[in-house]
Amino acid sequence: MEIVKFKKNQALIRQGEIANEMYEIITGQVGIYMDYGDASQKEIGILSGGDFLGELELIDSSTRIASAIALDNDVTAKKLSMEDFNNFVKENPAKVILIIQQLSSRVRSLDNHYLDACRTIEEFKKAVDEKRELSPELLNNIRNFTSAAKKRG
């Protein structure tokens, strides 16, 4: 395990990279973004001290789905390799529960977004079937979901 420091706008992880490590934020704030730096960039969330990031991709050996960017000049984090993580799991059961809770919260949030998408599709289908004009709110929801889908490619 290594303590690392990041300056404002420096990437901890980049979308599309292969995961070789995860981080536990000690100080500062980190923004999580899809398509960071592009015109279509979307903020997914903000993490701070005590939060973990990159654990999902490290666990399942997948590519990063988002970028993590330091929002402060003094972001400090613990960097854990897979070997560090395996030792961490054995030595820190309480923190493992915290990681599971954070992952559960993220899954719950995704479930809510999925349900919102389903409701939007159903409302769109109903408006088309009834040949009525699409409401501004429905059009905005459709734009939000289609822009998110483009980012995931």
Question: Domains of the chain: which residue ranges?
Answer: 1-91, 93-153
Distance CA 103, CA 97 (A): 10
- Beta strands 67-70 and 11-13 are antiparallel
Residue type at 130 in one-letter notation = E
Give the chain's count of helices (H) and strands (E).
Answer: 4, 8
The tens digit of pLDDT for each residue in 59-94 reads 888 899 899 999 999 999 999 998 998 898 899 888
pTM for this entry: 0.69
Helices 93-129, 136-152: inter-axial angle, 10-degree rounding: 130
The tens digit of pLDDT for each residue in 3-61 reads 999 999 999 999 999 988 999 999 999 999 988 988 878 888 899 999 999 988 888 88
Domain 1-91, what fold? Jelly Rolls (2.60.120)
Q: Which of 44, 94, 48 is nearest to 64 (CA)?
A: 44
